[in-house]
Amino acid sequence: MGSSYHQFCPVAKAMELLDERWTLLLLRELIMGSEHFNDLRRGLPRMSPTLLSRRLHQLTVAGIVERNDSDGAIAYRLTDAGRELRPVVEALGIWGTRWIGELGDGDLDPKLLLWDMHRRVDHSVVPGGKAVVHFAFSGVHGHSRNWWLVINSGEVDVCDNDPGFDVTVSISAGLRPMTEVWRGNLTWADAVKSGDITISGPAPLRRGLPAWFELSTFATIPRPV
């Protein structure tokens, strides 16, 4: 736990636990449904495993998280106290969407983008419930350029190596435009029309692909004029 503010105010007491680096983002991942250590790491790719372990321990001791290994695989789940933080985290996301505008280049991360997208697939509109979507990000070099989402039977896997399956639809995009579409700042139609995003595949699949993904949970938040 962070150092004490030495105030009786409940806001101060709450922040003694919550204002340490990565803690609220870790809570975001737990609220979004990640339970296992490796999944938490994928949602927090720049957080070291050592620090992640420490924060999970702190939240467990504080009664925010419970550690469960009854099924042989260790899982971390929010307690009632942890679940009560959902509206706090959501309010921060809403505020950030409305009032923190421009993204720096360092804020763009294909790994984090695909991890977020894999949680928002609408399986009811994916043809046959199965598809492989290949993403190629222009301007991104090396291993981080190519990604695959393998959609199958209500599950989605994120792959940074070719999984070896036939590709259903391919998306070539700049990382920034794809991120702006995801955040609700740019429409699929406008991004395709401008050439910032190119969708390749059979025509019905090209037209239908945007509906396969519900956008970020904050994409519909109204922005100030």
| Concatenated DSSP letters of 63-92 | TSEEEE-TTSS-EEEE-HHHHTTHHHHHHH
- Segment 20-59, tens digit of pLDDT: 999 999 999 999 999 999 999 999 999 999 999 999 999 9
What percent of the chain stands above pLDDT 90? 89
* pLDDT tens string 62-87: 999 999 987 778 999 999 999 999 99
Q: Radius of gyration (Cα) for the chain, nearest Å?
A: 19
Measuring CA to CA, how many Å separate 205 from each of 55, 90, 94, 167?
Answer: 43, 33, 32, 12
204: Cα within 13 Å, side-chain hemisphere: 3
**pLDDT over 70 (residue 1):** no
- Contacts from 106-113 at CB under 8 Å and sequence distance 24+? 108/175, 108/176, 108/179, 109/45, 110/135, 110/137, 110/140, 110/144, 110/145, 110/147, 110/175, 111/42, 111/45, 111/144, 111/147, 111/160, 112/43, 112/45, 113/175, 113/178, 113/179, 113/182
pLDDT at 73: 87
| pLDDT tens readout for residues 92-133 | 999 999 999 788 999 999 999 999 999 999 999 999 989 999
The pTM score is: 0.90
How high does pLDDT run on average in the chain?
A: 94
Type of residue at 215: L
Residue 2 pLDDT: 58
CB atoms within 10 A of CB 186: 18
Please say if the pLDDT value at position 170 is more than 80: yes
- Cα 111 from Cα 108, distance rounded (Å): 9
DSSP strands (E only) in 130-202? 130-138, 146-152, 155-159, 169-174, 197-200
Q: Which helix (H) or strand (E) holds 58?
A: helix 49-61
Mean pLDDT across 191-213? 97
pLDDT of residue 4: 87
- CA-CA distance, 119 to 142, in Å (whole number)? 25
Which domains occur in the chain, in start order? Answer: 10-99 (1.10.10.10), 106-212 (3.30.1050.10)
Mean pLDDT of 202-212: 97
Return the axis-axis angle of helices 175-183 and 110-118, rounded to nearest 10°: 40
Tell me what pLDDT residue 102 has. 84
pLDDT tops 90 at residue 164: yes
Asked if pLDDT for residue 208 goes beyond 80, the answer is yes
The stretch 1-17 carries a mean pLDDT of 87
Give the pLDDT confidence score for residue 180 in this predicted structure. Answer: 96
